[in-house]
Structures are given as C-alpha cells and as structure tokens.
Amino acid sequence: MSIDATAEATGLRDLMARSNIVVCTGSGGGGKTTTAAVLALEGARPGRHTVVGTLDPAKRLADALGLEGLSDTPSEIAGDWPGRLSALMLDTKSTFDGLIAKYAGSPEQTEAILANRFYRNISSALSGTQEYMAMEKLYELHEEHDFDLVVVDTPPTRNALDFLDAPRNITRLLDHRLFRLLMAPTRGIVKALNVAAQAFLHTVSKVVGGEAIDDAMTFFHAFEGMEQGFRERAGRVLELLSDDRTAFVLVASPRRDTVEEAGYFAERLGEADIAVRALIVNRMHPRFGTETALAARERAVTLAGTDLGGLYENLADFALVASREEDHLRGLAAKVAPAPVVRVPFLASDVHDLGGLTAVGTHLFT
C-alpha cells in the first residue's frame, strides 16, 4: 500500500470543507476525542462557526481544549482563528428534559412529566437513552443554532453502534403494541390492557412495588399526545445521518485489536448504507527512510560494537514495528476505500491544550 501523505491530507481538508456534520467514531484509546477537537479547530480556522461535542462523560475533550470543564450548552473558546469555536459535553437528562418541554402540550404537562419518578429514572439510566439523546443533541445543534460545522465525538465503537441505532429504536418503541395500549386515550389505562397484561403488572408490582407501577402508568398517561413529535424527530435525525454533508470519520490506532474493531464498525456502517469518509490512524511509528528492517539489521551486525551500529539496531526495530502496523492497516484501508487514510505519528508529548491540537493538525492537514 503506497503512502501519499499530501494527497490524503488534501482529501481530508476537502472533506471538512464540504461537510456540515462530522461524526468521529472508533474504539477507545485511539485518540478519537483529540481528533474531534482538532477537526473542530480546523473548521474554525477558515472562518466557520464550529462546535465540538462529546458523549464521553470523562474530561478528555475539556482537557484537550485546555479547559477546566464543559457543560451541556456550547461554551465559546477564545483563539486567534478567523471563525468561532465552541464546545460542550452531553448531559442526557438535560437534553431529555428539553425534548419533553418542546413536545408537551402545556407547561402543566411538562411539569407533570419532569416531576414523575419513573421519568426521572429512565431519563438518565434506561439503556439506549444516552445514545438517543446524543442524536437529539446533534440534531438540535445542526437545526436550531447557527453553527456551520458540528463535530461529534462518540463513545467507543460498540456503543457508537447504539448511537446509530437509537432513532430506529425509539420509533420501534413508539410503534410497539404494548406502548400503544398504554397510551390509549380516553380510557383508563389499566382497563385498556387485556387480562394477561394486568396479571403481568400485578406480578411485577410485587417485585418492584406498587408505587413504581403507579409512577410508570402516570408517566404514560402524562406522555399522551407527545409520541408523534418524538417519532417525527427520530425520522429527521435518520435523514440527517444519511445526508451527503454528514461525514463519518473512523479513528483508530495501528494496534491489531483496534484495527479489527474499526473494521467491524466500517462493515456495520456499510450495512446501514453509510460510507466511512476518512480514516485517521493515530500514534503511528515513523519511517526513517526507505530501508527495510532486514537491511538495517544486517548493517547493524556489520557495524556491531560502534555507536552507528547501535543506531542501526534501533532503526531496524522501528522499521519492523512500522511495517507491522502497515500490515494491520492494509485490510482496514481496503474496507474504507476510496476514503483518505491519514496517519498521525507519535508526538513528543501528550495533547492537553490548543498548542498540542495545532501540532496534531499539522499532521492531519499538511
């Protein structure tokens, strides 16, 4: 596999210029959060109004941007770029509360739902809620703010697949027969259930308590009339994900396990008819010249006992590791072709401020 770093960097720059949304995804530990911050910074440099958001509750994005912390609302970051750069961290419950307020028919309905104990539990703890709210936040940032570019840092790969499935999952829930029965208007909710369902609720109430069941039933009653808004919103989110101006960027390290994980995700994206638009590989071992590991090793033997011999021994080790990394990447690059494959080498220090992000950007875009 030939490496044309200039052409790949140009391809990534062109992709950024024509995208309104960039979704960074990949396995943990591959530098995904740092990459998202670098891409957002690159978006602000030409003059675009850019925001970067993370779904990861850890402070990695704030650390990369040199900030003490982030909230659920965009915070602008001062800098010498022509555009504007903001950042945020998703707060699942806050986003869910905002949706309830948006689709409720009255302030009283909003208040009833937000005060409901069943809602307070599912808004922060129900499986899939974080991923669905992440999609909602992405849609909100794109549609309801004046950002030219939205960059999203997703959870590690397997969870990011939930991120993709979330809009479909909420639609399936809203269309489920039991949900429709629970939402049946003008009738007592329990009366709307058949005898078997009532028996089931009676059994469950013995386990979790009657109050928990009452809270759930009260929630569904209060939710009445709002499901269509959620269903339509989920459909619009799906359309946004498949839009040509939405780019999925796969981020990985050259280790075999993370490359395999990235390959799995690339295949799943393909099954959803979503193309990987760029592959960024962080922490690559650099190549020093074109000499192979074997040739460097032979030269080290010839110069054994000298300082130069020791240097060639080190060169042979680096060449061997770099060659193995390229072997790991070959299959992954084929899966994402013709997307550009951009390599970022090991840096002298960790990235923890804007200067570090700028250093990574020089490898991504030049």
pLDDT on residue 207: 44
Please choose, from the candidates 186, 144, 175, 157, the residue with its C-alpha nearest in 3D space to the C-alpha of residue 56: 157
Determine how many CB atoms are found less than 10 A away from the CB of residue 57.
12
Q: To which H or E segment does residue 87 belong?
A: strand 84-89
Paired tokens of 252 = 């990985």
Share of the chain above pLDDT 70, in %: 76
* pLDDT over 60 at 200, yes or no: no
Paired tokens of 251 = 């981020």
Report whether 152 contacts 21 (CB < 8 A).
yes
* pLDDT over 50 at 16, yes or no: yes
**pLDDT tens digit string along 248-292?**
999 999 988 889 888 988 988 888 888 999 999 999 987 777 778
Provide φ and ψ at 188, rounded to 5°: -60, 135
Provide mean pLDDT across the span 320-346.
91
* pLDDT over 90 at 293, yes or no: no
**pLDDT tens digit string along 211-223?**
656 666 676 666 6
DSSP 212: H
Rounded to whole angstroms, the Cα distance separating 334 from 152 reads 25
Q: Which of 7-16, 26-35, 95-104, 123-132 has the highest mean pLDDT?
A: 7-16
Paired tokens of 239 = 């359309």
Extended strands (E) in 296-358: 341-345
pLDDT on residue 231: 76
167-172-178 Cα angle (round to 5): 145
- Record the pTM: 0.80
Report how many helices (DSSP H) and strands (DSSP E) the chain contains, helices first.
Answer: 17, 8
